[in-house]
Amino acid sequence: MENQFLKMSVSDDVYGAEYTTALKNVMAIAVGICHGLGYGDNFTAVLVSAAIREIGNFIDTYVLKREI
């Protein structure tokens, strides 16, 4: 299922999904702290962008180590 705003896919990687969910929650807490401290929208956008990239790198590394 997909549209211009959302793309959904099915995965059988339960551990990857669990790690991603946990890291997403950490990112949400960091964004909330930044918002509470009064940082601007640009800083928040950079934080989210970097966090998503780091989550991807972590999952890629984790999956590669798990398959070896």
pLDDT, tens digit, for every residue of 9-48? 888 878 888 888 999 999 999 999 999 999 999 999 999 9
Instruction: Indicate whether 68 pLDDT > 60.
Output: no
- Options 24, 35, 53, 66, the catalytic residue: 24
24 is an active site residue = yes
Please state the φ and ψ torsions of residue 7, each to the nearest 5 degrees: -130, 125
What is the C-alpha to C-alpha distance for residues 41 and 54, in angstroms, rounded to an integer?
A: 20
Q: Which is more confidently placed, 12 or 1?
A: 12
CA distances from 8 to 1, 16, 50 (A): 6, 15, 22
- pTM to 2 decimal places: 0.74
DSSP state of 63: H
